[in-house]
Amino acid sequence: MALSSVSQTAFLLALLSLRTYQSEVLSEPLPSAPEFLKVSVNSTCQCLHLQWTVHNLSHHQEFRMVFQIEISRIKTSNVIWVENYTTTVKWNQVLHWSWESKLPLECAKHFIRMRSAVDTAKTPGPRVWSSWSSWEEADVQNSLGQDPLFVFPKDKLVEEGSNVTICYVSKSHQNNISCYLEGVRMQGEQLDPNVSVFNLNHVAFIRETGTNIYCKPGQGDRIKGTVLFVSKVLKEPKDFSCETQDLTTLNCTWDPGSDTGLLKQLSQSYALFESFSGKKTLCKHKSWCLWQVAPESQDMYNFTLTAENYLRKRSVHLLFNLTHRVHPMAPFNVLFKNVSATNATMTWKVHSIGKYHTLLCQVELYGEGKVTQHNVSVKVDGAHLFSGLEPDMEYMAQVRCANGDHFWKWSEWTQQNFTTAEAAPSEAPDVWRNVKTVQGRCVVTLFWKPLSKLQAHGKILFYNIVVDYLDRTSVSELLSIPAPANGTELPLSQCSSQIRIMANNSVGTSPASVIVVSREPGNEEVEEERVKGTEDGFPLSWKPQPRHVTGYLVEWCEHPQDPPCDLQWKNLGPNVTSTVVSSDAFRPGVRYNFRIYGISTERVPYLLARKTGYSQELAPSDNPQVVMTNLTSHSFTLSWKNYSTESQPSFIQGYHIYLKSKAGWCHSGSEKAVLSDDAAVCCKYKIDNPEQKTFVVENLQPESFYEFLVTPYTSVGEGPHDAFAKVTTPDEYSPTLIRIILPMVFCILLIMITCYLKSQWMKEKCYPDIPDPYKSSVLSLIKSKENPHLTIMNIKDCVPDSIEVLNKQEGTRKSLTETESTKPTYLYLLPTEKRYSSPGPCICFENFTYNQAASDSASCGHVPAPPKAPPSQLGLLTSPENLLKALEKNYMNSLGEIPAGETSLNYVSQLASPMSGDKSNLPINPPEPALCSEYKMQMAIPLGLASPPSSGSSSLSSVTLLDEGEHYH
pLDDT of residue 222: 79
Final residue in a domain of this structure, among 179, 200, 231: 231
Number of other CB atoms surrounding residue 713 within 10 Å: 20
pLDDT reported for residue 266: 80
Verify that 199 and 245 share a domain, yes or no.
Answer: no
For residue 376, being part of any structural domain is answered with: yes
Q: Using CA atoms in the order 674, 676, 677, 680, what is the torsion angle rounded to 10 degrees?
A: 20
Q: pLDDT tens digits, residue range 239-279?
A: 999 999 988 899 999 999 888 887 767 888 999 999 998 89
In angstroms, the CA 408 to CA 410 distance is 7
Q: In this structure, are residues 522 and 609 in contact, taking their beta carbons and an 8 Å threshold? A: no
What pLDDT is recorded for position 639? 95
* End residue of a domain, out of 614, 649, 679: 614
What CATH number corresponds to the domain at position 83?
A: 2.60.40.10
Do 690 and 564 lie in a common domain?
A: no
Has residue 935 been placed in a domain?
Answer: no
Same-domain status, 595 and 524: yes
Q: Which of 698, 713, 734 is the last residue of a domain?
A: 734
SS3 per-residue string spanning 632-694: CCCCEEEECCCCCCCCCCCCCCEEEEEEEECCCCCCCCCEEEECCCCCCEEEEEEECCCCCCE
Q: Give the count of domains, the chain.
A: 6
Residue 463 lies in a domain: yes
Instruction: State whether residue 425 is helix, strand or coil.
Output: coil
Cis peptide preceding 153, ω within 30 of 0: yes
**Residue 887: what pLDDT?**
46
**259 and 388, same structural domain?**
no
- If asked whether residues 379 and 456 sit together in one domain, one would say no
Per the rule left: phi > 0, alpha: psi between -120 and 50, beta: everything else, 439 is left
| Residue 544 preceded by cis peptide, ω within 30 | no
State whether residue 738 is helix, strand or coil: helix
Residue 815: per-residue pLDDT: 40
Regions of the chain short of the pLDDT cut 50: 1-6, 11-28, 783-786, 790-791, 808-880, 883-884, 886-969
Residue 178 belongs to some domain of the structure = yes
Angle among Cα 259, 263, 268 to the nearest 5 degrees reads: 35
Rounded distance, CA 554 to CA 596, Å? Answer: 5
Q: How many helices (H) and strands (E) does the chain have?
A: 8, 60
Pairing mode, strands 528-532 and 605-614 = parallel
Is the separation of the CB atoms in 488 and 464 below 8 Å? Answer: no
Reduce the DSSP state of residue 481 to 3 states and report it: strand
Same domain for 242 and 176? no
Report long-range pairs for 182-188 (Cβ below 8 Å, ≥24 apart). 182/206, 182/211, 182/212, 182/213
If asked whether residues 258 and 183 sit together in one domain, one would say: no
In a domain, 869, yes or no: no
* DSSP structural state of residue 108: S
Supply the pLDDT for residue 417: 95
Q: Is residue 840 part of a domain?
A: no
Question: HSE on the CB side for 352, CA within 13 Å?
Answer: 6
Do 464 and 566 lie in a common domain? Answer: yes
Q: Which residues of 874-898 are buried (b: 16+ CB within 10 A; e: fewer)?
A: ebbbbebeebbeebeeebeebeeee
Is residue 850 one of the residues assigned to a domain? no
Query: Could you tell me if 592 and 538 are in contact, meaning their C-beta atoms sit under 8 angstroms apart?
Result: yes
Same domain, residue pair 413 and 553: no
Burial call 644-665: b when 16+ CB within 10 Å, e when fewer: ebeebbbbbeebbbbbbbeeee
- What pLDDT score was predicted for residue 673? 86
Q: d(Cα 90, Cα 65) in Å, to the nearest integer?
A: 10
Asked, for residue 216, whether it belongs to a domain, the answer is yes
Identity at 273, one-letter amino acid code = F
Residues 131 and 162 both lie in one domain: no
Could you give phi then psi for residue 185, rounded to 5 degrees? -70, 140
The one-character DSSP state at 117 is E
Verify that 638 and 589 share a domain, yes or no: no
Residue 212 sits in the same domain as residue 171 = yes
Looking at residue 561, its pLDDT comes to 77
**The domain containing residue 394 runs over which residues?**
332-419
Helix (H) or strand (E) holding 857: none
Confidence (pTM): 0.48
- Identity of the amino acid at 230: V
Provide φ and ψ at 373, rounded to 5°: -125, 145
